[in-house]
Amino acid sequence: MVAKCQVISLCRSLLRAGCKYPDYNIREYTKRRTLDGFRMNKNLTDPSKVNDAYAEGKEHLEVVERVLKVYLAYPPKTKSIMELKVQ
C-alpha cells in the first residue's frame, strides 16, 4: 500500500513540474489535470487500485518532465495572449 505522504509528494511533484512550463495554457492544463485526477481518486480504498493509481501518476510525472525538457529546448516563437503585456 502506498503511504499518504507518497501520494501528497507525487501531487506536489506534478504541480511543480507543471509550473515550470513557460506557456500559460500548458501550465494551467497540467495544474487542472493534476488536481482533477487526485480529486477523482481521493476515495479509493482498495490497496490494489490505490497502487495502480499511484503508478499511473508516476508515469504521468515522467511524461510531464520529459515533455518539459523538449519544450524548454524548443520554445515556441510566439507568446499566448495571456502572456502579452498591456502597453
Note down the domain range covering 25: 2-81
In a domain, 48, yes or no: yes
* Cα angle value 28/32/34 (rounded, 5°): 120
In a domain, 58, yes or no: yes
In a domain, 86, yes or no: no
In a domain, 49, yes or no: yes
Per-residue CA distances from 4 to 21, 44, 51, 53, 54 (Å)? 27, 12, 11, 13, 11
In a domain, 31, yes or no: yes
Per the structure, the count of domains in the chain is 1
pLDDT in tens, the chain (87 residues): 899 999 999 999 999 999 999 888 899 999 999 999 999 999 999 999 999 999 999 999 999 999 999 988 988 777 777 777 765
